[in-house]
Amino acid sequence: MNIRPPRRSLSQSVVFWMFRFATYFVLACATYIFLDIGIKGAGTVFTTKPPFVNLEFLSRAPETLYVFNYQGAKQTIGDRDFREWRKTHEIDDSEVTSVAYSAGGIWPCIVGTALLVLGSMVLALFIGISSAIYLSEYSRNGRIVRIVRVAILNLAGVPSIVFGLFGFGLFVIFFGWNVSLLAGWFTLGLMVLPAIITASEESLRAVPQGLREGSLALGATQWQTIRKNVLPYALPGILTSSILGISRVAGETAPIMFTAAYATRDTMPWSVSRFSDF
């Protein structure tokens, strides 16, 4: 006896195609954005001559762009070249228009982003994994521990602008670290800490209890059991949390603007006179 599958109703078909068109629309928007960035940026990053990469753009500091008319021709010169040009040419300052950070390169931006991600993730992973090990392996499921877990989950939903204001008030003003990489490290590290703790604790809890009991039965200490039998199996989940943390740290703007960004500075982060200004 052949049983025919039931036909889709009209409402089911309409909902199905609505979801499909919504998915296609999101993919089309994402494709347009990436293509727009790639096409417009390719003319700056890549060149038609070997080595086919604009090394000057990737290795220079950003500069102010000066736009002016000289002898009937429009000139666009960076800050350093403009200073040298003015030594041999005369021009009225009222005829010169300047645009901040529209010339030069992005080398300090690349270095600053890499240092921010590296420093904040070192702090966040060390504190986050240590906290997850304590909550999963050492603590008892009492009232205080449950309150701590709820607080961690609530912190994961706090907007980044709140962490930026908190870091500005605590690290920049109260501790006197000024706007520096050091303040940015601690602010961004605290921001991704809840996600790392939660994901790492879930990974540790997913390890079978029999591995712990077998290790303890053979005479291993609890720390040896955690280090040899639990952490290796929980490592994939911990790495996943670290990747998510890196992506959030590298893409944040508000906390960096309050704690680590200089609007008028084009030198390297280590070109400072005090350690707290790093």
Query: How many domains, the chain?
Result: 2
pLDDT tens per residue, range 229-252: 899 999 988 888 888 888 888 888
Rg of the chain over Cα atoms, rounded to whole angstroms, equals 27
pLDDT at 110: 85
- 29 domain residue, yes or no: no
pLDDT at 108: 82
For the chain, counts of helices (H) and of strands (E): 11, 3
Q: Give the DSSP H or E segment for 116.
A: helix 107-133
pLDDT at 276: 53
Last residue of a domain, one of 104, 135, 169: 104
Pair 221, 155 in one domain:
yes
CB neighbour list of residue 115: distance below 8 Å, 6 or more residues apart? 181, 269
Pair 89, 204 in one domain:
no
- 71 domain residue, yes or no: yes
Pair 162, 140 in one domain:
yes
pLDDT at 165: 92
User: Helix (H, G, I), strand (E, B), or coil: what is residue 142?
Assistant: coil
pLDDT at 130: 92
Pair 76, 134 in one domain:
no
Low-confidence spans in the chain with pLDDT less than 50: none
Kindly list the distances between the CA atom of residue 103 and the CA atoms of 48, 66, 195, 266, in Å, as whole numbers in the listed order.
20, 9, 38, 12
Pair 72, 189 in one domain:
no
The closest of 136, 107, 150 to 234, measured between CA atoms, is 136
Kindly list the distances between the CA atom of residue 270 and the CA atoms of 12, 229, 262, in Å, as whole numbers in the listed order.
61, 41, 14
Q: How far apart are CA 10 and CA 208, in angstroms?
A: 48
CB neighbour list of residue 69: distance below 8 Å, 6 or more residues apart? 75, 95
- 257 domain residue, yes or no: yes
Domain that holds residue 155: 108-277
pLDDT tens per residue, range 150-183: 999 898 888 889 999 999 999 999 998 888 888 9
Pair 261, 172 in one domain:
yes
pLDDT at 52: 81
Pair 122, 197 in one domain:
yes
